[in-house]
Structure 1
Amino acid sequence: MPEMTSALKAALTAASSPSSAQRVCAGQALASSADVSEVAEALVGLLLDVEDTAVTRQTAEALTRVGTVAAIRLVALAVAEADDNQADWLQTGVHDALAGTGSVPDVAAACGKLARDPEEAVRRGAADIWAWADGTRS
């Protein structure tokens, strides 16, 4: 694995900050590195943040904007573990990304790949995200 950059290390540190604003920034900074195992763990923690729904929402939005299978897989994992309130904010974050301006990655394609994931929780979460993404297009 390539050595972690100082920016990535700083964002990982911010992910566990007591400041929700710092955690929001960390989620946004880490989203593009969702395929790095230490980063993935931190991102799932941010998606399931128990203190501030803004952290959940904005991390979900950032990961959806990245749109890679690795990024959407983390959102799917969080959806499967989330309580109803967290799931609502995860859905809002996904919607924010898909409704925003600019190019949006093909989230449905990522969900299609995740439908065959060996982990049942990922398959379940991906099905929810696929339904949410489908709802934004109609």
Structure 2
Amino acid sequence: MPETMSGLEAALAEASSPTWTQRIRAGRDLASFAEVPEAGEALVGLLLDVEDTAVTRQTAEALARVGTVAAMRLIALAVADADDNQADWLQTGVCDAFVGPDGVPDLAVVCGELARDPEEAVRQGATAVSAWADDTRR
């Protein structure tokens, strides 16, 4: 089995852990697999974690740092389903990605692509994420 797949499987297992620190690690580890359907499903669950806002925040930051269309689409989907508290922590996570030393990809370009997504929830979420990115850069 290729090492990346064993890493993916281990992270998928951690995503459903009762321990919040393991779920955070899963969010970080799964972010680079955002285009893999099983990982995407687990990541949306972590973005909308009902037990710990740190999981939401750290997963959103990890996905924003990846910055691909697949990664940002998952954040947009989560934003569409988030309650106000979850949305605040999603926003904080996305904004955290901007203050790191590595910077992040140009999320405005990615959100622009997502604004044309066939799924309305993705379009709405991408609009919110784009606004967060704009506010952070000011």
Structure 1 stretches of 4+ with a deviation exceeding 6 A read none
Q: For 1:32 and 1:70, how far apart are their aligned partners in 2?
A: 10
Is the partner of 2:105 in helix, strand or coil? coil
Q: Which residue of structure 2 lines up, in the alignment, with residue 69 of structure 1?
A: 69
Contiguous gaps of at least 5 residues in structure 2: none
Residue number in structure 2 paired with 1:116: 116
- Corresponding position: 1:46 with 2:46: yes
Q: TM-score, normalised by structure 1?
A: 0.96
The separation in 1 between residues aligned to 2:55 and 2:103, in whole angstroms, is 23
Distance in 2 separating the partners of 1:109 and 1:101: 21
Give how far 1:65 is off: 0.2
In structure 2, the partner of 1:102 is 102
Unpaired runs of 5+ in structure 1? none
1:117 to partner: Cα distance:
0.2
Distance in 1 separating the partners of 2:59 and 2:132 = 16
The 8 Å contact of residues 99 and 136 in structure 1, kept in 2 or not, is answered as no
Percentage of pairs with the same residue: 72
Shift of 1:4: 6.4
1:47-83 deviation line (CA, Å, top 9, x unaligned): 0000000000000000000000000000000001000
User: Alignment length, in residue pairs?
Assistant: 137
Name 1:135's counterpart in structure 2.
Answer: 135
Shift of 1:31: 0.1
Q: Distance in 2 between the 1:33 and 1:116 partners?
A: 23
SS at structure 1 position matched to 2:50: coil
Find the residue that maps to 1:5 and give its secondary structure.
helix
The answer to which of 3-12 and 65-74 deviates more is: 3-12
Give the secondary structure class of the aligned counterpart of 1:62: helix
Worse overlay, 113-122 or 92-101 = 92-101
Q: Distance in 2 between matches of 1:101 and 1:132?
A: 19
Distance in 2, matches of 1:50 and 1:19, equals 13
Residue 3 of structure 1, CA deviation: 9.7
**RMSD of aligned residue pairs (Cα, Å):** 1.3
Any idea what SS the aligned residue of 2:63 has? helix
